[in-house]
Amino acid sequence: MQKVFDALIDGYLLDKVGISENFLGLTLSQNLKENLVKLFEEKKLISAKTGNGNETNLNALVRSDKIFWLDRINENPNENAFFDVMDAFVLFLNQTCYTGITSYEFHYALYEKGSFYKKHLDQFKSNASRQYTMIFYLNTDWKLDDGGELCVYLPDFSINISPTNGKCVFFKSSEIEHEVLMSHAQRMSITGWFRVD
């Protein structure tokens, strides 16, 4: 994994946004995607909220994706394999970049056709725990005109990242404004945050 970790962080340090085309490996990505499809079919996904704590509100004008939190408590072998990779990545971040990460949180996200997430920052004003954002895309056969790009706003320009299968994106949660453009097809991902609590 070391090489994959290195490449992602090199890109992050150079461009403020690290992109890896195949961070988890195709088998684990495929298995996690199958978990997500099953959760969706079983109607276990919940409408995502915006904000934090008392300010939490359900705001369909801001975001319209549905989510489910990954957890070791689920005793799902694929989620556990995913967390094993994340544990190794946290060690790497803390050893090589002195990031002081103490925990993380990840949820599956499913954007049905017509869903979006308006421009935002991932770090809450009321709680600055979230340090780094990481997103994994699980969309096999994604087409250019399916839309659903992640639009990342940098100081002088913006970049549109297509949510193609296996791709992973990494950036600083307090710094990088971003948005999910309207998706014209079902769009699946795992999104999470490395925290300092």
With respect to Ni ion, which residue has the nearer C-beta, 31 or 187? 187
With H, G, I as helix, E, B as strand and everything else as coil, classify residue 183.
strand
Q: Is the dihedral of CA 104, 4, 28, 182 positive or negative?
A: positive
122 near Ni ion, judged by CB under 5 A:
yes
Residues at the contact surface with ligand OGA, assessed by CB under 6 A = 109, 117, 122, 135, 150, 163, 178, 180, 189, 191
Find the shortest distance in angstroms from Cβ 174 to Ni ion: 12
Torsion of CA 40, 45, 51, 54, to 10 degrees: 180
> CA–CA separation, 147 vs 114, rounded Å?
10
65 near Ni ion, judged by CB under 5 A:
no
179 near Ni ion, judged by CB under 5 A:
no
Find the shortest distance in angstroms from Cβ 161 to ligand OGA: 7
> CA–CA separation, 197 vs 102, rounded Å?
6
With CB atoms as reference, the residue minimizing the distance to Ni ion is: 122
Site of interaction with Ni ion (CB under 5 A): 122
